[in-house]
Amino acid sequence: MADEAATTVRKIIHVDMDAFYAAIEQRDDPSLRGRPVIVGGSPQGRGVVATCSYEARRFGIHSAMPAARAARLCPDAVFLRPRFDVYRRVSRQVQSLFRHYTAQVEPLSLDEAYLDVSDVAGFRGSATLIARDIRRRIRKETGLTASAGVSYNKFLAKQASDLDKPDGLTVIRPEDGPGYVAALAVGRFHGVGAATERRMHALGILTGADLKAWKLEELQQAFGSRAAFYHAIARGIDERPVRACRVRKSIGAETTFAADLRVRQDMLDALETLATKVAGLLASRNLEARTLTLKVKYADFVQVTRSRSREQPWIDAVDMLYHLDVLLARTDAPARPVRLLGVTVSALGPAEDGVAEQLELEV
């Protein structure tokens, strides 16, 4: 293998359920099959799309899109409130299935996980055969489909699982990894968000090959702490291990805006999206939190945080947003334009039965 690839060949599988929430709704209600199904908030409110069926995606609908816009794009869409109790039950079933193959399973959310099968002796030691069998069993035992990516590291395994959706299996071999990354548009890199993509484009970095041409020192000047990651993945290198047990102290999400926000409602809309993501992560890990923190970075890069702790757990996006509104009022926004907003929950603990199933996606 080329000297730029990982020195130790691992066998990593990324499994991603196809349109998970919507697929469960179509499975449980045959009248929904073949129809554009949107799971999330109401289009009459300020709700957002949690996920949607592939029939809806043909209209340009995607997760985190305002539900009202989704309704305009597809007037015939069926909008459903999420049933997180059902989704979590199916997720536990799928995660249990993964552990029949290896103990090295790292769940990322309710509907996806990494598996390290490097030391699995069965299936002739073939990660491809294991991934194929996992997909077969998921279909047989749940009635759902999953796509899988197989490669020698997490970055490429996750990229591979997106290549043949839905119900696909793609393998990126060690000898093909660097070439695959070189031809990939940077906007399709997992770990490169929209704001970073725009910044890379402004610097003339359009593909993995362009990114590879930059020296580490140059990337550090442009991208700071993320430079080492970008430098490595441009060469098909990702040494991150699959972590079967990760002790989390906090869960958060943040976004940097292409243009500074100057209107309070725009800030609240952004906070709704962030709160929905954080609440979903809590639900997927069966956790609850006791502290909610708002992060605000002004246009002049001055950063402040505002927090609230309480005995009643934070699990619900609607609940979070109400209090984020209060916390935002304790900052200088919108009198001072805002370039970044973040939402974090901490003081984590296991959710009581049924508690984390109450996640809402609408205010």
Paired residues of 150 in beta bridges: 13, 171
296 within 8 A of 304, measured Cβ to Cβ: yes
Residues 314, 320 contacting (CB under 8 angstroms): yes
3-state secondary structure of 104: coil
Out of 25, 55, 106, 112, pick the active-site residue: 112
Please confirm, yes or no, whether 112 is among the known catalytic residues: yes
- Dihedral (C-alpha) 199, 200, 201, 202: value to the nearest 10 degrees? 50
Q: Which two tokens stand for residue 168?
A: 């696909």
Q: Which residues contact 126 (CB under 8 A, 6 or more apart)?
A: none
Q: How far apart, in whole angstroms, are the C-alpha atoms of residue 84 and residue 316? A: 12
Q: 294 with 343: CB under 8 angstroms?
A: yes
Nearest to 139 by CA among 242, 48, 23: 23
Of 348, 229, 331, 184, the C-alpha closest to 282 is: 348
Q: Give the active site residues.
A: 112
